[in-house]
Amino acid sequence: MDVKRGEVTVPGFLASGIEVGIKEAGKKDLALLFSEVPAVAAGVFTKNVFKAASVLLDMRRVRKGMAQAVIINSGNANAATGREGYTDAVEMTRAVARRIGIGDELVLVASTGVIGKRLPLEKIIDHVDELVVGLKPSGIADAEEAIMTTDSYPKIEYRKMSLGSRAVTICGIAKGAGMIEPHLATMLSFILTDAAIRPDCLTALLKRAVDRSFNCISVDGCMSTNDTVIILANGKAGNRPLTKSSKELHRFEEALTDCLEGLARSIVRDGEGATKVIEITVKGARTENDARKVAYAIANSNLVKTAFYGKDPNWGRIIAAIGAAGVPVPAESMELFFDDLLLFRRGSGVAVGTQRIESVMTQDLVKVTVKLGMGRKSARIFCSDLSFDYVRINAHYTT
């Protein structure tokens, strides 16, 4: 659904985003999402061993299934900061809770930015009042702007649907362009909905939707310490609360997944330095895990990614990547396509003009299909190419 960014609202939710000086001057870096009433909450987090302080805190709090606010800063990840970092995260939530007059445990927190530096806590605490005063229904776009780091554009997705006689809104925001890999391929994403839904049901739903969206993309194969997806459902739509046995659950899940898929693709398209998106589909695998292994082996090969950047018809690098994936792919049965163009079958290349391959590689979206001929399982993932700009952006990130 096409709406202007400033007009995006979800009944019962307020948001704000301001500049407090964590990032360079002129950039928003602190955001607050707030539900007028305590909302049902669920979260999915990074599997990195070194989880950021915010992740550790949220994992504890979200277990209770309820939350009312999320405070988010960009410019500092508050990761690899030890016990002090954890205390900083707690203080952030406490400042919000006190100012609003709700319990600490109803406030969640997320951080993104440089790893290993203490959070400039005072700057944040000093601006909590401004943040709360600035809350408004149309503040979601400001909040999105404040959570961006190397993102080159904001990522907001918006869906409307009905549940029974009630109109329901789902709105997701996300940030992320680098450190993007499987198992939470986003840095941060927050989904606000006025749907009424039971906590256990929301948790299961979010996990499935994340598996089908954020867990199907890769920019650089690097897993972050801070990946966080949080959904708040405040029930303001007044629908009969969704449960695992609701007939309408499936339609809500489809809308939610669709919203997250939109955000996930937006992240790949905005992958650091990306000039194109590569959609990799692996079919005919014995297991879904095998299909994913092969797809990610292609997606994370620097040689494949640079070839796509240069529009170099060097499809042999894809063959090499598949062969190194750890799946015993039979050369005789495997086939490789760029769009509908067959490039490899029965163990060797098909005579195709270089120009035809190049013209496919020039597209903004290139579909790579691999048929393994081993079984019936498949997987599809999206990745970006590897350009000079990826190196430029990442060679001087902190300085």
Q: From CA 37, how far away is CA 262, in angstroms rounded?
A: 28
Question: Is 275 annotated as catalytic?
Answer: no
The minimum distance between CB 98 and a copy of itself, in angstroms, equals 26
Q: Which is nearer to a copy of itself, 103 or 330 (CB)?
A: 330
Is residue 37 a contact partner of residue 236, using CB atoms and an 8 Å limit?
A: yes
For the CB of residue 213, give the shortest distance to a copy of itself in the complex, in Å. Answer: 20
Q: Give the residue carrying structure tokens 């009312």.
A: 68
Longest dimension (CA), the chain: 70
- Nearest distance, CB of residue 259 and a copy of itself, angstroms: 27
User: Which residue(s) pair with 281 in the sheet?
Assistant: 369, 380
Q: Cβ(232)–Cβ(34) under 8 Å?
A: no
Q: How far is the CB of 85 from a copy of itself (least distance, A)?
A: 6
C-beta closer to a copy of itself: residue 200 or 358: 358
Contacts of 191 (CB under 8 A, 6+ apart): 170, 171, 172, 173, 206, 229, 230, 231, 232, 256, 259, 260
Distance CA(176)–CA(152), nearest Å, equals 10
The SS3 call for residue 192 is: strand
Least gap, CB of 281 to a copy of itself (angstroms): 19
Q: Are the C-beta atoms of 20 and 30 separated by less than 8 Å?
A: yes
* Residue the block writes with tokens 């700009």: 389
Note whether 196 and 239 are within 8 A (CB). Answer: yes
CA angle 141, 206, 40 (to 5 degrees): 75
Q: Which residues pair with 169 in a beta bridge?
A: 160
What is the rounded distance in angstroms from the CA atom of residue 334 to the CA atom of residue 286?
13
Q: Between 34 and 315, whose beta carbon lies closer to a copy of itself?
A: 315
Q: How far is residue 89's CA from residue 108's CA, in Å, rounded to a whole number?
A: 9
What's the min distance (Å) between Cβ of 147 and a copy of itself? 19
Number of residues that make up the chain: 399
Q: Smaller CB distance to a copy of itself: residue 83 or 247?
A: 83
Single out the catalytic residue among 81, 150, 186, 369: 186
* Alpha-carbon gap, residue 274 to 368, rounded angstroms: 17
Residue whose entry in the numeric block shows the structure tokens 């198992």: 183
Q: Are 66 and 81 in contact (CB under 8 A)?
A: no
How would you class 324 by CB atoms within 10 Å of its CB: exposed for 0-12, middle for 13-18, buried for 19 or more?
A: exposed
CA–CA separation, 168 and 254 (whole Å): 13
Q: How far is the CB of 86 from a copy of itself (least distance, A)?
A: 9
Active site residues: 186
